[in-house]
Amino acid sequence: MGVLIQIQGAEKSYGEQMLLDDAEATITDNVKVGFVGRNGAGKSTLLRVLLDEEELEKGEVIRHPNLKVGYLRQHDPFLPGETALDFLMRDSGQPDWKCGEVGGQFELKGKYLNGPVSELSGGWQTRVKLAALLLHEPNLLLLDEPTNFLDLRTQILLEHFLRGFGNAALIVSHDRAFLQATCDHTLDLTRGRLTMFPGKIEEFLVFQEERRQHELRENAAIQTKQKALQKFIDKNRARASTASRAKSKSRMLDKLQTIEIEADLPTASIRAPIVAPRKGPAVRTVDLAIGYPERTIASDITIEIEHGQRAAIVGDNGQGKTTLLRTLVGSLETKSGSVRWGHHCELGVYAQHVYSSLDPKQTVLDYLEAKAIAGTTNQTILAVAGSLLFRGDHVRKKVQVLSGGERARLCMAGLLLGPYNILVLDEPGNHLDVETVESLAEALLEYKGTVIFTSHDRHFMHRVATNIIEVRDGGARNYNGSYDDYLYYVNKEIDDDERQRSPSRSSSSKGAPAGASAQRAPMDEKKLKKELKAIQKTVVSLDQKRKEVNELLMQATDPAEALRLHNELKAVEMELGEAEQRWLELSAME
């Protein structure tokens, strides 16, 4: 496997923060790598270094002579009045038929291909940029938060594109579902160090936590032994008869060293408002039309949301999700029809226009005191502020110096201090890092009130949503199914469309692996029992091997050895799964 990029001894800092500290990593061809780390860790900085837009203070980046990088641009590279087809031809130098063919992979056709690109939504413009990338035929893609503000359909199209892309990719993203679907390796940047893990993001997170717990257990055992040795030394070193033994124990104590475990980074710990559970309809719309003075976005909307539900409003960008949300809370007037809230509904709203319109002269503490229920103690306010990382002097910061992420967390803290039994959240994950979003999901699962929300984060939607409202084609409806059912439905639509565009993608089973639908020749009873007995022994043997490798993994202290054992464990588990599947098939034939 060829090496495309090798990072050696990389050092880079901003002020007192060391972003890269003797960092090393290798990216090979045909491998898709998910690049993860906390906000501000230095991921985007490293991408700029790889693009030759910034220099390292120390170390080097070795590039393969044939390296051809494709970078997903965040700025708009389009000219005024230019169509998507015009841009693709200008940017790539390819003929119109080739640009149209590649654009078709992202559903760019008709007015989306031949109309002004400036009139397309952000998601559709991202599709145009992705088509341009593909036309340049790169062997390494660099994607920095590619799913930001993309609707579900565009995210899935991007996944399909990456799975079909035959070369390497390095993808920075907080979207765990997206990384899980597209990347087979994980690169972690923590405190300046790069760690390449040969597995998907979920496997990496499990491995990371297992390793941390193992190190904590080892340290606890070492500390217990250290205390016992120190106690013996203190008791016996003054006695002539036992001084030599005490000296020997002292040498043993000097050799005992705990594993250095870096202190956990601060993580938000969100607690939802405590409210009494209620029953019956929270909100009902009747023949509702939504939109703006100059145009109607959707009409004939008759939906109902019950108290205690966590209703996710879904749909492609531009279909009217946020418009519906704003109409429900009264920040937009209805075009016609009605919105009726139940009695004693207290609404708490989290939306971009809320945290972008805060009073810049207020401090964090001023804002939270104004939002808190009358009589809330200062201790409670400071505890909620601290749970969202406003600790110590940070509560005296003025709003005008807060980052977008800090303002978002401040608004979230204000909601938690209020009396709200209805939470309306428009893209709550934007500007929040993955740990804060995870904490928010946990809080909403415990919340006894009603939640109405939109989000592009599939992991968050899967965890939180109890029911789905789809906004599409000028209307909105309660979707009868779970979020996973809705994902399946959207994927099927995209697959059907791809099959129509590419009839050569045969649905025949040629070369397909044997599965549930495969037909097996009947076996005679003697052969069946013989194979069943053999497969039972194989299952027992592989299960024992899995336990042994897992035990070695838990004891491993060398990172390279731990990775080797992790890979061996995964291979054994895969083999065991296949053997168990065959055992089930044979058992059914008895």
Closest CA to 142 of 63, 79, 80: 63
Tens of pLDDT along 295-329? 899 999 999 999 999 999 998 877 889 899 999 99
Residues 200 and 215 in one domain: no
Residues 398 and 461 in one domain: yes
Q: Which residues of 110-123 are buried (b: 16+ CB within 10 A; e: fewer)?
A: eebbeeebeebbeb
pLDDT band for position 213 (cuts 50, 70, 90): confident
DSSP assignment of 421-436: SEEEEESTTTT--HHH
Residues 34 and 160 in one domain: yes
- Chosen domain end from 467, 492, 517: 492
pLDDT band for position 523 (cuts 50, 70, 90): low
Residues 228 and 164 in one domain: no
The residue assigned the tokens 């509702």 is: 288
Q: What is the reported pLDDT for 431?
A: 66
Higher pLDDT, 204 or 493: 204
Residues 395 and 444 in one domain: yes
Q: What is the reported pLDDT for 368?
A: 92
Tens of pLDDT along 5-64? 999 999 998 777 788 999 999 999 889 999 998 777 788 889 989 988 889 999 999 999
The whole-angstrom separation of Cα 140 and Cα 264 is: 33
Closest CA to 46 of 196, 197, 209: 196
Which range has highest mean pLDDT (208-217, 313-322, 340-349, 512-521)? Answer: 340-349
Residues 127 and 232 in one domain: no
**504 within a domain of the structure (yes/no):** no
Q: What is the reported pLDDT for 390?
A: 87
Q: What is the reported pLDDT for 562?
A: 65
Residues 198 and 218 in one domain: no
- Chosen domain end from 204, 235, 270: 204
Residues 403 and 444 in one domain: yes
CA distances from 421 to 247, 343, 384, 436, 574 (A): 66, 11, 18, 21, 47
DSSP assignment of 532-577: HHHHHHHHHHHHHHHHHHHHHHHH--SHHHHHHHHHHHHHHHHHHH
**518 within a domain of the structure (yes/no):** no
pLDDT band for position 514 (cuts 50, 70, 90): very low
Residues 109 and 193 in one domain: yes
Residues 245 and 301 in one domain: no
**Which pairing describes strands 467-472 and 422-426: parallel, antiparallel, or unpaired?**
unpaired
Closest CA to 364 of 423, 409, 415: 409
Q: How many domains are there within the chain?
A: 4
Tens of pLDDT along 234-278? 888 777 777 788 888 888 888 877 666 554 556 667 888 888 999
Average pLDDT over residues 166-184: 90
Token duo for residue 268: 């938000």
Which residue blocks in 372-482 are alpha helix, DSSP H?
378-387, 404-416, 434-446, 458-464
Looking at the predicted structure, is the pLDDT value of residue 589 above 50? yes
Q: Which domain holds residue 211?
A: 207-255
Average pLDDT over residues 412-430: 88
The three-state DSSP-derived secondary structure of 481-521 is CCHHHHHHHHHHHHHHHHHHHCCCCCCCCCCCCCCCCCCCC
| Radius of gyration from C-alpha coordinates of the chain | 29
Residues 6+ apart with CB under 8 A from 332: 290, 292, 323, 326
Residues 100 and 192 in one domain: yes
Enter the DSSP assignment of 167: S
pLDDT band for position 450 (cuts 50, 70, 90): very high
**455 within a domain of the structure (yes/no):** yes
Q: Are 5 and 140 in contact (CB under 8 A)?
A: yes
**513 within a domain of the structure (yes/no):** no
Q: What is the pTM of this model?
A: 0.67
Residues 149 and 21 in one domain: yes
% of the chain residues with pLDDT over 70:
87
DSSP assignment of 312-337: EEE--TTSSHHHHHHHHTTSS--SEE
**377 within a domain of the structure (yes/no):** yes
First to last CA, the chain: 46
* Total residues found in the chain within this entry: 590
Tens of pLDDT along 109-143? 888 999 999 888 777 888 898 899 889 889 999 99
**430 within a domain of the structure (yes/no):** yes
Tens of pLDDT along 75-104? 678 999 999 999 999 999 999 999 999 898
**375 within a domain of the structure (yes/no):** yes
**501 within a domain of the structure (yes/no):** no
| CATH at 380 | 3.40.50.300
